[in-house]
Chains A and B, each alone.
Chain A
Amino acid sequence: MKNFLQDVYSIFWREMKHFIDQKMRIIVSIVQPFIWLSLMGNLMSGFTNNPFGLMALGGVKYLDFMTPGIIIMTTLFGGIFGGVSIVMDRRFGYLNKMLASPISRSAIPLGKMLSSALTAGIQALMIIIVAKLMGVNFATGILGIILILILAMCFSLAMAGISLALAARLKNMETLFAIVNFLTMPLMFTSNAMFPTQTMPDWLATIARWNPLSYVVTPLRTLVTSGWNWMEITQGLVYIFLLVLFTLYIATTQFKKSIA
């Protein structure tokens, strides 16, 4: 067990080194939410600054409404490209180097998933700080923010798990990118991340309700805009917990099956 945890930590450490090394990526992760929030926030406030708009948004500013959506979007993209690192490791022979060592096989996907989670946590924190500076009000205060960070990290971990499971199978960067792009954009825009379901046509609202992304956005939004509504928060926590378990399972089994 001690060795297993050490293996996970070794992989995690290496991935975090890669993250810190990418200075551009860190800068972008701060600048991007700022651009999204100021651009989309201002653009949409024209539409929503009226009684009907306010009603659709549940009585809050569009900026407040959108902040959880931006957090989920950023962590979704951060996580879903987690599989790329396996493809790179394979291409440069580093994967074989790890596999020729006695390192635990499941530690490899697990360490990578954890690094994806921490990266997402850092990015989510950046977004929250930017949002705060732009006047977004977090209804549940500091405890709520901590819960938001935990949820975002778990979500990114799960997305990285899916991505790693795919990457273990596909072995090819181009196919991985194609599938990931095919999945993420529609997933994003058929969810309630950017727009309230009340303003959607019925068919789209139905899709949005069943969209797995909405399950994560909803508790986050509750925490930001309405407060400690335990029904929705617990639902979200249970959902994310199950998602994490499921993706841990498929990532490690797929990895063992097709690589080790």
Chain B
Amino acid sequence: MKIIEVNRLSKTYPGGVEAVKGITFEVEEGEIFGLLGPNGAGKSTTMMMLTTLIKPTSGSAKVCGYDIVSQPNPVRFSIGYVSQDLAVDDTLTGRENLFLQGRFYHLSKEIIEKRIKELLELVHLTERADEKVENYSGGMRKRLDIAMGLIHRPRVLFLDEPTLGLDVQTRQDIWEYITRIRKESNMTIFLTTHYMEEADNICDRIAIIDHGEIKAIDTPRKLKENLGGDLITLSLRQDGIERTTLFLENVKLLEYVNDIKKNDGRYTIIAKRGEKLIPLIFNIAQENGIEISSITLKQPTLDDVYIAYTGKELRDEDGSPEDVRRMNRILRRSR
């Protein structure tokens, strides 16, 4: 069953910024679906539209069969939303935070209390539940935040950068909780993240979004395969352009080789079964009198996929001043 159906959804902010430009995709029930993209690509805008926080400019979307514009309340009842802001109330205790959240969904006291007990165990906060949140560490806050998103047993959980600003250990814990929740309840999880390996490990399907458009959408394995195979990177000791060209042409004739790209004076050969190709490449080099100074073979990662579609690496992005402030605020609260 299609639990999220997005049809040519777009959002133009007042002032003319086209954040999302008519995207279309679907998410199956029970999937973990990841939306990846650089800052300002439209990830958060998409998520905010699907969680009814902002209205689309055009197009439509359904979550659990309800239209996000004309039936916002049924949508809200069926989704949980965990933003990247660590939106927990510092002056309340963990238990009070959960209780209030349950009341927002009009659950009865008995049900809330029962669920609080379960959720506190799930995120390992039972012992600290009656302490004020201002004494919590960043990881504890995030765990509480996620538990709050689960109090009404939503059918879809939206997680905006769930591991942003957390240390490696806590990040692993968070993913563990998420996979466990999915396993136990068949909940659909829609997330955005900056961490490629994490997305690769956890997501069933991934959409890469850039400049408000979806560039690719598939399983992580297919996305990597679609790059055309393994990546063999060569550095040559320069021995004249003609000989190099001849060498590359010969390599290109080899079976399995899909493409050769040049960047920074190195050559990247995209080919299936790279491990078999390496000896052949050496042979050709010798025949053409070319000396190879270094060679590496690697399986493509999601990073490579990401770079191929967006032309940039996630790591070295410049944030806008607002992004930086927001980040600082989150880090400060994470401690």
Contact = CB atoms under 8 A, between A and B. Distances in A.
B53 A99 contact: yes
Given A100-B51, A101-B76, A6 B83 contact: no
Given A17-B96, A97-B83, A3 B91 contact: no
Nearest to A19: B91
Interface string B128-164: 0000000000000000000010000000000000000
Contacts of A6: 103, 106
A101 B104 contact: yes
Contact of A10 (B83, B87, B104): B104
Contact of B81 (A3, A100, A103): A100
Interface string A6-44: 110010011001100100000000000000000000000
Interface stretch (A88-96, A163-171, A177-185): A88-96
Given A21-B91, A93-B83, A102-B105, A14 B100 contact: yes
B92 A102 contact: no
Nearest to B158: A100
A96 B104 contact: no
Contacts of B79: 100
A7 B76 CA distance: 15
B269 interface: no
A200 interface: no
Given A96-B81, A99-B53, A100-B76, A14 B89 contact: yes
Main secondary structure of the interface of A (DSSP, over half): helix
Contacts of B85: 92-94, 96
B83 A102 contact: no
Nearest to A104: B73
B106 A3 contact: yes
A100 B89 contact: no
A134 interface: no
B305 interface: no
A94 B87 contact: yes
A98 interface: yes
B134 to A, nearest CB: 10
Nearest to A2: B106
A67 B7 CA distance: 63
25 contacts: A7-B104, A10-B100, A10-B104, A14-B92, A14-B100, A17-B96, A91-B329, A92-B85, A93-B83, A93-B85, A93-B87, A94-B85, A94-B88, A94-B89, A96-B48, A96-B81, A96-B85, A97-B87, A97-B148, A100-B53, A101-B105, A102-B73, A102-B105, A102-B106, A103-B104
Interface of B: 48, 51-53, 73, 76-77, 79, 81, 83-89, 91-92, 96, 100-101, 103-106, 148, 329, 333
Interface of A: 3, 6-7, 10, 13-14, 17-18, 21, 91-94, 96-103
